[in-house]
Amino acid sequence: MVKHLDNIQKHEFELKDLLAIMGSFKWLIIFMVFLFFALSNIYLYFKPSIYNSYSIIEVKTRDKSIKVSDDLLQNAFYSTNKGIEKEMEILRTYEINKEVIKKLNFVTQIFVKKNYKKHELYGNKIPIKIDKVKVIDPRILGKEIKVVLKKEGYTLDIVNSKRDILLKKVMDDVDLLQLDRERIYPYNKRIRTDYFRLSLSKTKVENKHKVMYFKINGDVRNIYEFIIKNRVKITQLNENAPLIKISYEDTIPDRASNYVNNLVKVFLESGEITKHKRSDKILAFLKKQLNSTKEKLLRSEKELEKYKVENNIINPSVQSSLMIKKLSDIEISISENLLKKMLLDNVLGIIKTQSNFDSIDSYLTRLDDSRILQQLNTLNELELKEVSLSSEFTDEYPKLIDIRNQISTIREDIVLNIKSLNASVLHKIASLKKLKAKYEGNLLNLPKKEMTLTNLISKHEIDSQMYDYLSKKRQENEIIKVATSSDYKIIEKAYVPKKPIKPKRSLVMLLSLIFGFLLGVFLAIILHKTSKKIRSIEDIEHSTDLPIYGLIPSSKKEKDQHIRVLENPHSPFSSSYRNLRTDLQFLTKSNSSSVVLLSSLTPSEGRSVTTVNLGAILHLAGYSVVVVDLDLYKPSLHQYFDINFSSGVSGYLAGKENLIDIIFPTMYPNFDVIPAGSIPSNPSDLILSNKVGIMLEKLKNEYDYVLIDTAPIGTISDTLSIMEYADINLIVLRANRAKKSYLEKLEKMIAKYHLKNIGLILNGVSPKYLSNIKNKL
């Protein structure tokens, strides 16, 4: 065994070693797995389920570079979507969400406690109604308030958290929120406390709970910032598809779907309102212009008819007709450019009074200037980036500063370009007026009557064309208003989710099992490495150079006091003793008898069972063996052989009995035993007498092997004197019981008392570990 053990690498750590460690600490690993599994179940039991409901809408985006119409007036009031990113930002805003918050009433949340955890009540399942809430002290927000319902009224009490209570104990200046828990408040009347005002009434819902809880979340803004904002998720499903996913997470599945559907509804309605406002704006403008033009047309028509009758003139000459056509076209162009100038004046007025450029988009979209349109697109993208960065970083963030500088520069460029466009329109109007004056000058060359007729016809023609133009646009926009289609389309409505999205219970339980197992293995390795107890031959080899002569597996039948080697000679247990016997044969002289002493440093190391089984395995090999019980303090060998306890070594050493009289044969030939005899009052004196050496010499002459079972050398020093007579001194150490410090103590004893021929036997080794060792050999 010693020769083979020397070939094992001392610091080698293989999978088999890990399995052996796991086997040694299997109950620790099982406990850790069970502990984490139990903790995960407790966590999952008290952790509320989170449900997710979502809706998908399509955004009808248009490319701003594509012109919808050549009509100035239609294009001037027409607005297109700025891109899906802006729609997503709008859906996240407080302005859109506040209407939903008001509708679903997040001001208070009501709970009941059942089976040690809280359950929130929602919808038509709430037996009480809390309204007319006004917060007086903001510290009450989010606090749990206990309501005890009674016949004559109800009581209130603030449930302070364990953290607040602990802080109160540590720091006396911390104030706990408290209410008079004995005071009974009336139903259906608004009450006042130091922290809030509210009214509580009963509903028609059957109430099985006399004790309930509620918390106040504050005003709409507070609810949005601390509850809604983190629960609403707006995402684009695909970069190449204008589809927005609107999702909301809540512990109540019905509330989750209600919130999403209401948010979509408010968003779509706001878009419809904006479109109708734009249509109303166009129609109002058209109506005003139509009324004014109609009056002009009627006046010009009357003047023309009157002049024709008075001067008996029917139609103008060909030359006059050409002039009328030219003047009419010029006048129409002047009117269109005057409209454009009016729109540009409005844009410049808005820029002076507002910092937001969104409101000028409807004016600039179709003014035929690609530079301004491109700059508006760039400005919109930069503003979205600014919103995103400002929510994550401070104003000193370099990238945020750079984007803001770019925004400022683009805004200045847009203003300059608008002023430049306005100047261009003014120049065009001036040119048209000069051209008009030229044609009007040509009219002076006509005869007086024809010149007057031409002027009247031209004026009537201009008024008539403008009236037809405005009338046509009014009809078109009335049709548009009636048939207005939304810029958004609901692809999928939100539904009530059936399964929660988190916590992922199966995954949490699986991870708890894995983590518990891994932590158990980790602790097993740590305990194995830092353990003060001897668990393996590596622990011995790291502490001493003493040879290891045997590894004995653990046995549940060890305390039965049976000689297991003789009961089952072919078992792994017997095989380990055969290995020990082989090593002893190499150590002892083949032609002479050998005295083998077995001891230990402390009791209960398995010394006696090792002695009798070693004797039995030597007997099976054909050797004559006698086992001697020299533990006169606590003898036990006689129990394995069922012999008389009164006669034995103590009587012989006291001179009361002869050696031949204390040798007891067993049922196995050439396998005898000498018991300790009755326990003497002076065992130390008997052991230290020279009769011990005489007895052992006589026994060596009669037997091949003399095996001595002695008292532990760590507690009884008398054993040290007997070791001088032994050819081999075997110290038995029990795995997982004997401490590593025992080896240090043994080394000191060897040095102090000059002990020789010392070897070790590791008893109680795990069968799995023993199997791994054999595979290495």
Q: Give the mean pLDDT of 47-66.
A: 78
Residue with tokens 């406390």: 193
**Amino acid 314: pLDDT:** 56
**Amino acid 5: pLDDT:** 43
Q: Give the mean pLDDT of 66-90.
A: 56
Nearest to 676 by CA among 712, 640, 631: 631
pLDDT band at 721 (very low <50, low <70, confident <90, very high): very high
Sheet holding 144-149, edge to edge: 117-121, 108-114, 211-216, 144-149, 154-159
**Amino acid 81: pLDDT:** 42
Q: Which of 8-17, 100-109, 329-338, 532-541 has the lowest mean pLDDT?
A: 8-17
- What is d(CA 144, CA 696) in angstroms, rounded to the nearest whole number? 86
Beta strands in 312-451 (DSSP E): none
Pick left, alpha or beta for residue 410 (phi over 0 → left; psi -120 to 50 → alpha; otherwise beta). Answer: alpha
**Amino acid 6: pLDDT:** 47
Q: Which of 222-226, 325-329, 395-399, 757-761 has the lowest mean pLDDT?
A: 325-329
How distant, in Å, are the alpha carbons of 310, 445, 498 from that of 315? 14, 18, 83
- Every domain of the chain and the residues it spans: 2-47+503-529, 108-218, 270-487, 535-776
Percent of the chain past pLDDT 70, that is, above it, reads 82
**Amino acid 521: pLDDT:** 93
Burial class (CB in 10 A: 0-12, 13-18, 19+), 752: exposed
Name the average pLDDT for the chain.
82
Fold exhibited by the domain 535-776: Rossmann fold (3.40.50)
Burial class (CB in 10 A: 0-12, 13-18, 19+), 241: exposed
Q: Is the pLDDT of residue 175 over 90?
A: no
Q: Give the mean pLDDT of 466-479.
A: 69
pLDDT band at 656 (very low <50, low <70, confident <90, very high): very high
Q: Which of 76-80, 396-400, 419-423, 553-557 has the lowest mean pLDDT?
A: 76-80
Mind listing the pLDDT tens digit for each residue in 348-405?
776 766 555 655 665 565 465 677 777 777 887 787 778 777 767 788 888 888 988 8
